[in-house]
Structure 1
C-alpha cells in the first residue's frame, strides 16, 4: 500500500481553499449564509480523530512487541486506510474552511454576526488536527525495515503492518 503523498494533501487543501473562497464570495453577493459546518461538527471530528488514534495505538502496541494476541492483518490494513482517509478529509476541511475564513475576515467590519468566521476558523483547526492524526497513525502502521520478514534487512523503508 502507498503512503500518503504530501503533495496530494497540499493540492487538495489548495484546491478546496480556492473553491471555498469562491463559493463563499458567491453566497455573500447573493445574500446566502456562509457555507460552513456548524460547531457541532467538531464533535464528529473529535470522534473520528479519537477512533483513528485508538485503532492506531492498537497497531503500534503490536508493532512494538506487545504480541499476546495476534493482530488481524485486515484490521491493520483498515486502520491504515482510515488514517489515510482521515488525513485527506482533514485536507479537504482545512482548504474549504480556510478559504471561507480568509473571505470572512475581509468582511469582519461589515458583519454584525461573526459566528461563521469563528466556525470556519474552528473547522480549519479541526482539519489540521485530522491531517496530523492521519499522518501519525499511518506512521504507527509502518513496520521497521528489520521486521519485514523476521530477519535483518537493509531496506531503507518499511512495510505496513
Structure 2
C-alpha cells in the first residue's frame, strides 16, 4: 500500500464538484438551509487527526514504537494510516461537493437571496473539508518510519 497521491485526490475533488454542481442545479429547491454549523463536524475530525498526527510523530521520532508501557503499538500506526487514507478520500469528495455548490451559488448570490444566505455555511463546510484532507495527508506523512542514516550515507563507513 502506497501513500495517497495528491493527483488522485485532485481528480476526486474535480469529479465530485462536477457531479455536485449538476445535482444542485436540479435539486437545490429541496435543500435544507445550509448554516455555518453544517460542515463543522469535519473540522472537528480534522483537528483530532492533526493532534493524533503530532502525537504519532513525536512517538516515532523518539523511537517509542514497540510493545510496553508508554509505547505506541505498530498496529496503532498501521490503523492510523488506514484512517488517514480514508479521511483523505472522504475529505476530497466532500470538498468537491461543496465546491460544486459554491460554483452554483456565486453567480446567483446577487438575485437569489437563499443562495446568498447559504454561501457562508457552504464556505465553512468547504474549508472544513479542505482541513480534513490536509490533516489526513499530514497524519499519513507522520506515520512514516524515520529514515535510516545508513540509507543516505550519513554515518556510514566508506
Which residue number corresponds to residue 80 of structure 1? 81
Q: 1:33 Cα deviation (Å)?
A: 2.8
Aligned residues of 1:83 and 1:137 also touching (Cα < 8 A): yes
Choose between structure 1 and 2: higher helix proportion. 2
Take 2:132 and 2:26, find their aligned partners in 1: how far apart are those partners?
A: 28
1:41-94, CA deviations, whole angstroms, 9 ceiling, x for partnerless residues? Answer: 333112211221222122101111163732211111111111222221111111
Bigger shift: residues 104-113 or 18-27? 104-113
Take 1:56 and 1:98, find their aligned partners in 2: how far apart are those partners?
A: 27
Which residue number corresponds to residue 134 of structure 2? 132
Q: Per the alignment, in what secondary structure is the counterpart of residue 44 of structure 2?
A: helix
Give the number of aligned pairs. Answer: 148
Which of structures 1 and 2 has the larger relative contact order (alpha carbons within 8 angstroms, sep 6+)? 2
1:19-30 map, 5 Å: 19-28=19-28
Q: 1:18 Cα deviation (Å)?
A: 0.2
1:36-115 map, 5 Å: 38-65=35-62, 67=64, 69-113=70-114, 114-115=116-117
Take 1:79 and 1:131, find their aligned partners in 2: how far apart are those partners?
A: 14
Q: Per the alignment, in what secondary structure is the counterpart of residue 150 of structure 2?
A: coil
Q: Per the alignment, in what secondary structure is the counterpart of residue 56 of structure 2?
A: helix
Q: Per the alignment, in what secondary structure is the counterpart of residue 106 of structure 2?
A: helix
Aligned residues of 2:37 and 2:121 also touching (Cα < 8 A): no
C-alpha RMSD of the superposition: 2.2
Gaps of 5+ in 1: 156-161
The two structures have a TM-score, normalised by structure 1, of 0.81
Take 2:34 and 2:16, find their aligned partners in 1: how far apart are those partners?
A: 14
